[in-house]
Every structure is written in structure tokens, then in C-alpha cells.
Amino acid sequence: MVIRALVNRCARITWLGVVTVLCVGSFFGLAGGALARPFDTIDDRRDARLMLGGYDPISYYRQARPTLGRPEIRVELDGVVYRFASEAARTEFQRDPARWLPAFGGHCAYGMVHALPIHARADIFEILDGRLYLFASERSRAWFLMERELNLQLASRWWRDEVAGSIVVLQRAFRTVVPVPNRRDPEDLERDYRDRLHTGRL
């Protein structure tokens, strides 16, 4: 009990320190765009908050792999920019944007299982029930799909209840110091994955 209390106290002190540093940094403009709404974007000089690494969101559904959009064919929505490979794709997007938006602001879907807004690779993805999910790595995609329904529920819950209205750097720091109750050790996950693969349960 004493050790647990000491660990909890250290975690609270560390978290307070992180918040203080980030707040001071944001006051002086050091945190930049990272303190904006929780979208996973890049800055390619033409667009400061570019979604999907510049890939056309429509192409994920129409082709086996995403296609890069053209800088001049773009739509700005909720403060971020989407690019399209053609005018037809942009028109289709504008008719019903919600249909094409990536889940969890474009962050790694497996990171969201742990309430962690982690940068995802635009070329590692899965379309599940008509929704685009991105992942930080092939392994994070494999772990997510290993328990697909449970992970979809957890990720959706954490996004809705905690991450969607957060400041990315603060949220990431908080859940790194104070993991969610459903957190699983990576070594345990890998053993589970290999066991399921070996026994044909994937």
C-alpha cells in the first residue's frame, strides 16, 4: 500500500510538471500547432494542417491503396485541409464529408484503445464497416484487428469521452503517465498474437 501510494504521488507530481511546462510553452508560442484540436496533421509548407499526409480520402475506398491529392484541389474543414486527386473526388467529398473522414481525427486506431492520440501512417489502414481507420504500424493494425470488436468499442469510448475535446500534447502526456485501465503490455499482446496466429484463430 505504501509503495502504491508513493507511485501514485510520483505520477501526480510528474503530471503536474508536464502540465506546467506545456502551459508555459504554449504561452510563449513554443507548442505551436500541436496544441490545436485533436487532428493528426502534417505541415508540408503549403498547408500547415494537412490531413492524411496529403492523400485523397476518397481513394482509400475506391482503390487498393491511397492516391496523393493535388495541392490545388483541396477542401478545408474544421480547420484542417484535405486534398483530392481530381475535381470529381472533391465534389463527392463535399456532398457528404462525414462519410469519408478518418476515424479518431486520423490518429492511430490502436493508440486510441489506450486514449493516446498517436501519429498514424497514412498508408497503413483498414476500412471497417465503411469507416477508415489508420495505424502507426503494421503491428498496431494486427493487434487492433486481433480483438476487433472490443478494440472498436474501447477506442470509440475513449475518443468520445476523453480525447475528442482534448489538447493532443496534454492528453498524450497524461495517458503516458496514467495508463487507461484496459492497457495491455506489448510483450503480452505479442505473445497473444503469435499464439492466435499459430493456432489459426486470427
Which pLDDT score is estimated for 125?
98
What tens digit of pLDDT does each residue of 122-135 get? 999 999 999 999 99
Residue 20 scores a pLDDT above 70: no
One domain, residues 90 and 51: yes
Q: Cα separations (Å) of 170 from 15, 35, 57, 110?
A: 9, 8, 28, 19
Residues in CB range of 103: below 8 A, 6 or more apart:
109, 131, 132, 133, 134, 155, 159
CB of 143 closer than 8 Å to CB of 108: no
Query: Is residue 83 over pLDDT 70?
Result: yes
The pLDDT, as a whole number, for residue 4 is 52
d(CA 178, CA 6): 14
Instruction: Determine the structural domain holding residue 66 and report its residue range.
Output: 37-99
The verdict on 106 and 202 lying in the same domain is: yes
The whole-model pTM stands at 0.81
Q: What total of structural domains would you count in the chain?
A: 3
> Both 147 and 185 in a single domain?
yes
Mean of all residue pLDDT scores within the chain: 86
pLDDT score of 84 more than 70: yes
